[in-house]
Amino acid sequence: MFLAPRHAEIIDLARTEGRVLVEDLAARFEVTPQTIRKDLNDLCDRQLLMRIHGGAVLPSGTQNLEYAQRGKIAAAEKAAIGEAAAALIPDNASLFINIGTTTEAVSQALLRHGRLMIITNNINVANRMRPFAQFEVVIAGGVVRASDGGIVGEAAVDFIRQFKVDYAVIGASAIDRDGALLDYDFREVKVAQAIIANARHVILVADSTKFERTAPVRIGHLEQVDTFVTDRCPDEAIRRICRDCEVELVETMRRPEPG
């Protein structure tokens, strides 16, 4: 497929950085934002990119982005979400931490906590937290997914069901406007469902790009969540679901109301 040089470079940047933003591209190529928007629209029409607010990402379809790319998407937002979610968890608590780059940001923020018991199906979380004496780290058994170190499958589900913990920290690959929480791997979803069912307080952590993506497998619904931590929630339908279902919505980068 023939691509103009600028279009080819935009695709390469999307692969490397996880997403591309209109303002950044305009500065990089020394063109107007309107020109970049036209470039992105052309690439999206050819199904090479998918538009998000302020830019574009590689198309999601039924495949997730590579783990390293996912980690780069909204990195600052994920760090802020991690800090806010960690602040909700007291010392001496027990908790599940699920697979995902945002849940890993929570584990990073938890390193300043006192004693915790952490049950996880995420090798990256276990490796980050195990050197610290104040943490008891318990890792699920099962199939280790090569792409991201997640542990999935029926063995992991059975392992999770042995526990009843104070908190669960879960992520989602996409959030639908009807409140459905979505992911790509049905094996991962089964583990997430077991985690939700065996925690007293469920904390969903997801940055705002998840409102602009889709995925084929249903984890559950926002009504099953106690606290939803995000950088911002631009969708009034999601806000209404949170109000109606008594889900505490925490926005780490919400802009002040005018006036």
- Name the residue type at position 138: V
CATH number at residue 145: 3.40.50.1360
Rounded to two decimals, what is the model's pTM?
0.75
Question: Domain range spanning residue 44?
Answer: 5-59
Closest CA to 122 of 107, 133, 136: 107
On whether both 114 and 50 belong to a single domain, the answer is: no
For 36-48, the pLDDT digits (tens) are: 999 999 988 887 8
On whether both 213 and 109 belong to a single domain, the answer is: yes
The answer as to whether 160 is a domain residue is: yes
On whether both 203 and 144 belong to a single domain, the answer is: yes
The answer as to whether 65 is a domain residue is: no
Burial 125-150 (b: 16+ CB within 10 A, else e): bbebbeeeeebebebbebeebeebbb
CATH number at residue 40: 1.10.10.10
Longest dimension (CA), the chain: 58
**Least trusted range by pLDDT, from 44-48, 78-82, 93-97, 239-243:** 44-48
For 218-259, the pLDDT digits (tens) are: 999 999 999 999 999 989 999 999 999 999 999 998 654 544
On whether both 35 and 79 belong to a single domain, the answer is: no
Instruction: In whole angstroms, give the CA distance from residue 247 to residue 229.
Output: 10
The answer as to whether 47 is a domain residue is: yes
Q: What is the dihedral of CA 223, 245, 168, 142, to 10 degrees?
A: 0
Q: Which residues contact 177 (CB under 8 A, 6 or more apart)?
A: 211, 235, 237, 238
Closest CA to 230 of 212, 210, 213: 210
Q: How many domains does the chain have?
A: 2
The answer as to whether 191 is a domain residue is: yes
- Name the residue type at position 228: F
The answer as to whether 51 is a domain residue is: yes
